[in-house]
Amino acid sequence: MFRAIAFWCLSAFLLLGAPNSVAFAQTPVVAHLDAPFVHEGSGITVPAAVDRFDRVSVTDFSEEQLNIAAQYRDANNDTVITLFIYRAAGPNISI
Structure confidence by residue, pLDDT tens digits, 24-46:
578 878 888 889 999 888 899 99
Inter-residue contact 39 to 68 (CB < 8 Å):
yes
Q: Looking at the whole model, is its pTM more than 0.75?
A: no
According to the model, what pLDDT value does residue 62 have?
81
Q: What is the mean pLDDT of residues 63-72?
A: 87
Rounded CA separation 41/50 (Å): 22
Tell me what the pLDDT averaged over the chain comes to: 79
Question: For residues 19 and 67, what is the distance between their CA atoms, to the nearest angstrom?
Answer: 9
Residue type, 90: G
**55-60: average pLDDT:** 92
Residue 52 has pLDDT above 80, yes or no: yes
What is the Cβ-side half-sphere exposure of residue 12, based on CA atoms within 13 angstroms? 14
